[in-house]
Amino acid sequence: MKPHHRIFFIQFAVAVSLGALLSRLADLQVKFALTEGELGVLLVAMSSGVLFGLTFSVRLIERLGARSTAFATVFGAASLFAAIPWMPSALAAAPLFFLAGIFTGAFEINANIETDRHEALLGYRIMSRAHGMWSLGFCLTAFVAAGMRQAGISIEIHGLIVLAAVLISGTIVFSGIANAPKRPDAHPGDASHIALPTLGLMPLCLIAAAPLLAEGASVDWSTIYMRDVFAVEPFIGGLSVAIFSLTIAIGRLAMDPIVDRFNPRPVAIALLALTTVGLIMVATAPHPAIALLGFGLTGIGCSSVYPLAISAAARRTDRPASVNVAALGQTTFVVFFAGPPLLGFIAEHFGIRISYWTVVPLILAALFVTKALAPAARRIGEPELGRQGA
């Protein structure tokens, strides 16, 4: 197994674990007897944990190394996601959501930093493919969840099955992980204890956050949207997550050569425009098939904008790459996890269709700052990547 493929599996394993829970949020909502707004508040606990993990875990991750961090974050998150459905109430589940968020934030730093370092070793982009493994994991677990819901298998048993699969496969794959060397032009300083965004990083934060809000809306609320708007069967409702996850996975797995050929900025502009079209289709869909098509287009549009922003942040030389990636992750993953609760509040008071309309302005705002993705001149010691340069 190639070294960077082991890093890819970190993304895949966490996505399978988290996706197993998010794909069955409708069942968790019924189990805990929550309104959309109350379910959104519960998800805030996870977003708070993600923010904590991204802010304070950088120095610890650098000390532990890629292998130990992979074991701790992936297995910790997977165990907590599997335990949440067994809680007797939403109040009892909230601390588990928070702790799972901490592990998820730390995993994000570890996986992205190692992926960027392997990009430098290989001489070509793999960041989108790495995140494609996250989407592939979501796609797989969404299809499984749709089948399990239709078969009447409880969310508790579903979670335990997924946990067992992650623990077994992760033990095999993670055992061979070794730290990749830093980029030749990396910032020579040590990682700080606290990672915060800088003014220069903010355009990249916006570019990364916009598609993640659309992704969070699609992953967290699509099954509830399909149920409430069209009253479809559980399997059809689950297909919304599965189709979105499949198209975002396809986009990410195929996008790296396209970025190498055409440069990050025009690719990002095209993808953000496609995301806008998909969201409008979902918000106005007169039939379930149109909504599913909209989720598919949104998935393609969301596919590689976030990985492009991560790569741009990691390649900045003003601070250690781990600090910039963590700081970018603070903004983006808080949007990913905290945005859906806000959309839940909007859905409860104004209708779930309106909640999808509210994502569109942020996508349009990101289009105006895509200049931050423009390729820099090639740096000494870094290979050329097609027409793109560094």
Nearest to 135 by CA among 293, 22, 48: 22
- pLDDT given for residue 309 in this prediction: 92
- pLDDT given for residue 379 in this prediction: 39
CATH fold of the domain at 3-177+196-388: Growth Hormone; Chain: A; (1.20.1250)
- pLDDT given for residue 378 in this prediction: 39
- Domains of the chain by residue range: 3-177+196-388
- pLDDT given for residue 237 in this prediction: 83
Sign of the CA dihedral 310, 316, 321, 324? negative
The separation between CA 111 and the C-alpha centre of its own chain, rounded to angstroms, equals 12
- Mean pLDDT per 10-residue run, the chain (390 residues)? 93 94 88 85 85 84 92 97 95 95 91 90 90 85 84 93 96 92 66 68 92 85 88 84 86 91 92 96 94 95 92 83 82 72 82 91 94 59 36
- Cα–Cα distances (Å) from 119 to 65, 128, 154, in that order, read 18, 11, 41
- In one letter, which amino acid is 121? L
Angle at 208 between CA 21 and CA 200, to 5 degrees: 140
- Residue-wise pLDDT tens digits, 32-87: 998 877 887 888 888 889 888 888 888 888 889 999 999 999 999 999 999 999 99
- pLDDT given for residue 301 in this prediction: 95
Nearest to 14 by CA among 146, 152, 131, 189: 131
- pLDDT given for residue 382 in this prediction: 40
Nearest to 125 by CA among 371, 327, 320, 389: 389
DSSP per-residue string spanning 173-216: HHTT--PPPPPTTS--SPPPSS----GGGHHHHHHHHHHHHHHH
Token representation of residue 22: 């998010």
Helix intervals (H) in the chain: 3-22, 25-31, 36-56, 58-83, 90-122, 127-151, 155-174, 202-230, 234-262, 264-284, 288-302, 305-314, 321-350, 352-357, 360-367
Hunting for tokens 């942020």 — which residue is that? 362
Token representation of residue 52: 């904590």
- Cβ neighbours around 123 below 10 Å, total: 10
- pLDDT given for residue 194 in this prediction: 64
Nearest to 49 by CA among 25, 18, 24: 18
Hunting for tokens 């990101």 — which residue is that? 366
Q: Is residue 223 a contact partner of residue 237, using CB atoms and an 8 Å limit?
A: yes
How far is 196 from 188, CA to CA, in rounded Å?
18
Token representation of residue 58: 């950088």
Q: Is residue 177 a contact partner of residue 31, using CB atoms and an 8 Å limit?
A: no
- pLDDT given for residue 195 in this prediction: 66
Nearest to 304 by CA among 110, 130, 112: 130
Sign of the CA dihedral 294, 342, 249, 149? negative
Nearest to 110 by CA among 139, 167, 137, 71: 71
How far is 67 from 93, CA to CA, in rounded Å?
29
Burial of residue 76 (number of CB atoms within 10 Å: 0-12, 13-18, 19+): middle
